[in-house]
Amino acid sequence: MTALDRAHNIEDLRRLAKRRLPQAMFDYIDGGAEDEGTMRGNRDAFCEVSLIPRQLVDVSKVDPKTTAFGCDIDLPFMIAPTGMSAMFHPDAERGVARAAGRSGTLYSLSTMGSTSIEDVAASSSGSKAFQIYAFRDRALTSEFIERARSARYDALILTVDVPVAGNRERDLRNGMTLPPALGLMGILDIARHWRWSLDYVRAPRMTLANVAHRIAEANADISTLSGYIANQFSSSMTWDDARSIAEEWGGPLAIKGVLHPDDARRAVDAGASAVVVSNHGGRQLDGAIASMDALPGIVDAIGDRCEVFLDGGIRRGSDIVKAIALGAKACFVGRPYLYGLGAAGEAGVEEALTILASETRRVMALMGATALGDLDRTCLSHRTLAASSHQRGE
């Protein structure tokens, strides 16, 4: 029996990742901005919502499949874009994309990924989205749109919650900055995690593969590249830029990082076919509303006009069921699969997806729901809302 066989939930995978990864790498996945209040709030918000099951329903067949971006997906959760997966395991983005494809769900590649748009496309025939930011150099955005189109990506995700970088203090403390500034303790810790170190030195040198050609053009190393990238992030993007990106892409587009119903309306007006209700997993604005708390207002504002997805804090199938009952079409998960990747590469990612899939099916059966369409707000009790409507005498 391997350690992976003994992982029964996402928290078990988190513990395994913590054991295999040097602290700086683990904290880069696990941490959030400043006091990490929003990151914790994402989890707490799920605990505030309780499920009300229906009994004596034939649940011998439960089917959690749905569609997202016009693609059929077997599971109501997808892979959120995250950067630099090669830092955690040499299987990196290719391994995650393959595991997602085998599980029948959609993989999202980050601009900041360590594998190129084209290499990910070649490694898995599953559904795929490419995530971009607003770049100062509009030609770079156009280049990404063209490359995603040529490589037959199904959707584009425009992340809008990074007008400036979040303040992640664990990373500052650990020297996980660009360029890296690992102190002596950090280097000793890396040496202590010899399995990870061996994998890392045997693997091809990590690069930010989607901008690799720009590195070559600039004849730059990773530190000057980081300056180049930081310089490329635009702090002056507006809804007009989102509209022009939507027009240029012309296909399914999600705007990711929306937390206000008015912004959700503006996203639809700008041409988005989906919004992702997200606070970047609590990695950007600490103090921001939990995704699950923002969801109902956004569903009410635009749920009949476009797809609404949610991410942030999902660690259990029951969290996914709650989000869907509250009106999300599907969810994205970030850290759950990164813990799997950090613990055991592609096999660990597959384990994370299998755990979430089997939990989702089991919770649906226990809820008396044979399909996602059986889940709605009548399946939920919200402690805070219930208390306030009680106070109002409703």
Ligand X SMILES: Cc1cc2nc3c(=O)[nH]c(=O)nc-3n(C[C@H](O)[C@H](O)[C@H](O)COP(=O)(O)O)c2cc1C
Give the closest residue to 168 by CA, choosing from 305, 20, 62, 35: 35
Residue 79 zone, left/alpha/beta (φ > 0; ψ -120 to 50; rest): beta
Residue written as tokens 């912004």? 263
By beta-carbon proximity to ligand X, the closer residue of 311 and 346 is: 311
Residue written as tokens 């605990």? 47
Which residue's CB atom is positioned nearest to ligand X? 334
- Among 181-189, 222-230, 246-254, 327-335, which window interacts with ligand X (CB under 6 A)? 327-335
Can residue 312 be called a binding residue for ligand X (CB under 6 A)?
Answer: yes
Can residue 163 be called a binding residue for ligand X (CB under 6 A)?
Answer: no
- Among 76-84, 179-187, 211-219, 236-244, which window interacts with ligand X (CB under 6 A)? 76-84
Distance separating alpha carbons of residues 152 and 64, to the nearest angstrom: 26
By beta-carbon proximity to ligand X, the closer residue of 62 and 153 is: 153
Give the closest residue to 294 by CA, choosing from 312, 306, 270: 312
How is residue 88 written in tokens? 């955690």
Can residue 10 be called a binding residue for ligand X (CB under 6 A)?
Answer: no
- Among 81-89, 176-184, 340-348, 381-389, which window interacts with ligand X (CB under 6 A)? 81-89
Can residue 96 be called a binding residue for ligand X (CB under 6 A)?
Answer: no
Identify residue 123 by its one-letter amino acid code: S
By beta-carbon proximity to ligand X, the closer residue of 7 and 29 is: 29
Q: Let me know: does 130 contact 108? Beta carbons within 8 Å.
A: yes
Active site residue 280: yes
Give the interface size with ligand X as a residue count (CB under 6 A): 24
Residue 204 DSSP code: P
Tell me the per-residue interface mask from 232 to 271 with ligand X, x by CB under 6 A, - otherwise: ------------------------x---------------
Can residue 313 be called a binding residue for ligand X (CB under 6 A)?
Answer: yes
Q: Phi then psi for 258, rounded to 5 degrees?
A: -90, 130
Query: Which residues from 166-225 bind ligand X, rule CB under 6 A?
Result: none
Distance separating alpha carbons of residues 58 and 141, to the nearest angstrom: 50
126, 296, 317, 334: which one binds ligand X (CB under 6 A): 334
Distance separating alpha carbons of residues 42 and 293, to the nearest angstrom: 8
4, 112, 182, 206: which one binds ligand X (CB under 6 A): 112
Distance separating alpha carbons of residues 175 and 337, to the nearest angstrom: 24
Can residue 333 be called a binding residue for ligand X (CB under 6 A)?
Answer: yes
Please state the closest distance from residue 341 (CB atom) to ligand X, in A. 10
Catalytic-labelled residue, pool 8, 89, 260, 280:
280
By beta-carbon proximity to ligand X, the closer residue of 62 and 130 is: 130
Q: What is the CA radius of gyration of the chain?
A: 20
By beta-carbon proximity to ligand X, the closer residue of 312 and 368 is: 312
Q: Let me know: does 291 contact 298? Beta carbons within 8 Å.
A: no
Show the CA angle centred on residue 174, arms to residues 170 and 175, nearest 5°: 115
Can residue 82 be called a binding residue for ligand X (CB under 6 A)?
Answer: yes
Q: Indicate which residues carry an active-site annotation.
A: 280
- Binding residues vs ligand X (CB under 6 A): 28-29, 42, 80-83, 110, 112, 131, 159, 256, 278, 280-281, 283, 311-314, 333-335, 338
